[in-house]
Structure 1
Amino acid sequence: MPSYLVTGASRGIGLGIVTKLLQDPENFVIAAVRNPEAESIKKLGNEYPKARFAVITLDYSDYASIAPAADEAAKFLPAGLDHLISNAAVSFQEGASFETIDLKLFEEELRVNTVAPIEVVRQFLPLVRKSAAKKVVLVSTVVGSLELAPNLATLAITYGATKAGLNILARKWAAVLYEEGITTLALHPGWVETGSGPGIKDWWAKRDPDRRPITVQQSVEDTLRVIKEAKLEEKIKLYSHTGDVLPW
């Protein structure tokens, strides 16, 4: 039974991934969330058996919660964790200019989006090593691309910076994990129609009014296909949900 652990699983893309994975009776899925009492998670718990679905508490803003979360997950994963999907992230100031960036908020974005994934991967690596698939997925964004930065200069400045940091960590760590046969994937899930992102909508409305976000369902289906098809690489690429390679 393939196993998946998805962080940030109570809403948006994370919830969509968990929901889609649970529709396959062959999968065992762990939802890692800040609030296990969230209505979306309780609903899934009522729909799917404990033999295929578990919930653990994990908060990216509280590093001390990560190791206990990995210990809790290990109770459900005697054969290891096939797919670690680090999806949780925050974006507090998508519409901020360089003149209006709140530095305290920026620090928190860095803590959650760039630093916390290091500890998440570190703590869950022993479980990944035990598994058959051995895949680590870091959800990133095209807004973190250095090559495309001039074209997206005023879009989600701080969020993009945190994801650029994540990208360099992913690319460096992937070369190390490659030696162990662990596949690392940095993945842009697309501009998705979720409850967040009004700043992004406003930005695109001014520059490309005909551009529309994709649905969560479309993003999830595409993303899971890319994850499934991902191969072991030493020099990893930044992939779009479509499977296309994006510039770093």
Structure 2
Amino acid sequence: MKFFITGANRGLGLSLTKISLLNGHTVFAGVRGTEEAKIKELLELKETYNENLEIIEIDVQSEDSVLSALAQLKGKTDSIDVLINNAAILNERGKSIEELDMEACRLAFDINILGPIRVVKHFLPLLEKGANQSILNISSEAASLTNSYSGDYAYGISKAALNMLSEKLHCYLRDQDIQVLSIHPGWMKTDMGGENAPLYPMDTGKGIVELAERKKKITSPYVFVDYNGDPMKI
């Protein structure tokens, strides 16, 4: 299978890249910048996996950058099987509604929801060329309406919007057998999750790749699931 993963140079994105390669897949690793220091681990993986790993520069905030990435991708393949919208930002933590910086909120919405919209808008034709394809949007428990809590306004609201995008894409694409899921990856030890998190991204990443491989049956009537494919509270 051929995977395109955004935010692939660190955290969960890097783990998804590693696991996909270990499972014998080809990965197109989307990164915001290609400075050697930022993609050191990807370059090391490239030495091992050669043509099975391609690094593609993409800034999901920029439609021009998404189009440029698409052009790079088309130069290497005419289709992909799995699109994982992983790139995201968690900012304005611990702030009350009165303290929120509106420009910071705008940035979160631009990356966390408009970013996936831009990518799906332009990459969808590459997914439509095969069978059993998937769009996996990395969401969060913070997006749950029934488990809502005070704080993380920009992140939670933008991820709730991502869940709605996933539902709409599911309705639009179900006749084409394109699986669409909005996935809570768990609280992980990453730059975003911090050291107190109980999970490691390699562990949750294995479950997400198995969802892409269709090894797990989804029983939820909604597309919001955890990394094992179990239903999340909407």
Structure 1-normalised TM-score?
0.86
- Within the alignment, does 1:42 sit opposite 2:39 as a pair? no
Q: Which residue of 2 aligns with 1:167?
A: 163
Q: Which residue of 2 aligns with 1:100?
A: 99
Q: Could you tell me how far apart the structure 2 residues matched to 1:222 and 1:140 are?
A: 14
Q: Could you tell me how far apart the structure 1 residues matched to 2:34 and 2:132 are?
A: 27
Q: Could you tell me how far apart the structure 2 residues matched to 1:242 and 1:183 are?
A: 15
Q: Which residue of 2 aligns with 1:29?
A: 27
Q: Which residue of 2 aligns with 1:16?
A: 15
Structure 1 residue 235: deviation in Å?
A: 5.6
1:241 paired residue among 227, 231, 234: 227
Letter of the structure 2 residue corresponding to residue 122 of structure 1: K
Report the more deviating stretch, 118-127 or 132-141: 132-141
Q: Could you tell me how far apart the structure 1 residues matched to 2:7 and 2:213 are?
A: 20
Q: How does 1:1-248 map to 2 (within 5 A)?
A: 2-24=1-23, 26-37=24-35, 38-50=39-51, 52-78=52-78, 80-149=79-148, 152-154=149-151, 156-198=152-194, 212-229=197-214, 236-248=222-234
Q: For residues 126 and 18 of structure 1, do their structure 2 counterparts lie closer, same or farther at Cα, with a shift above 3 Å needed?
A: same
Structure 1 residue 233: deviation in Å?
A: 9.4
Number of residue pairs the alignment of both structures matches:
230
Q: For residues 62 and 233 of structure 1, do their structure 2 counterparts lie closer, same or farther at Cα, with a shift above 3 Å needed?
A: farther
Structure 1 residue 158: deviation in Å?
A: 1.4
Structure 2-normalised TM-score?
0.91
Structure 1 residue 61: deviation in Å?
A: 2.1
Structure 1 residue 222: deviation in Å?
A: 1.9
Q: For residues 168 and 53 of structure 1, do their structure 2 counterparts lie closer, same or farther at Cα, with a shift above 3 Å needed?
A: same
Letter of the structure 1 residue corresponding to residue 227 of structure 2: H
Contact map agreement 2:185 2:226 (CA 8 A) in 1: yes
Letter of the structure 2 residue corresponding to residue 153 of structure 1: S
Structure 1 residue 234: deviation in Å?
A: 11
Structure 1 residue 231: deviation in Å?
A: 6.2
Describe the superposition over 1:85-119 as per-residue Cα deviations: whole angstroms up to 9, x where unpaired. 11001112222221211111000100110112111
Task: Give the gaps of 5 or more residues in structure 2.
Answer: none
State the identity as a percent.
Answer: 28
Q: Which residue of 2 aligns with 1:205?
A: none
Contact map agreement 2:2 2:81 (CA 8 A) in 1: yes
Structure 1 residue 232: deviation in Å?
A: 8.7
Report the more deviating stretch, 111-120 or 93-102: 93-102
Q: For residues 18 and 121 of structure 1, do their structure 2 counterparts lie closer, same or farther at Cα, with a shift above 3 Å needed?
A: same
Q: For residues 122 and 235 of structure 1, do their structure 2 counterparts lie closer, same or farther at Cα, with a shift above 3 Å needed?
A: farther
Describe the superposition over 1:13-62 as per-residue Cα deviations: whole angstroms up to 9, x where unpaired. 000000111113x3111101112232122222222212x11111101122
* SS of residue paired to 2:170: helix
Structure 1 residue 130: deviation in Å?
A: 0.9
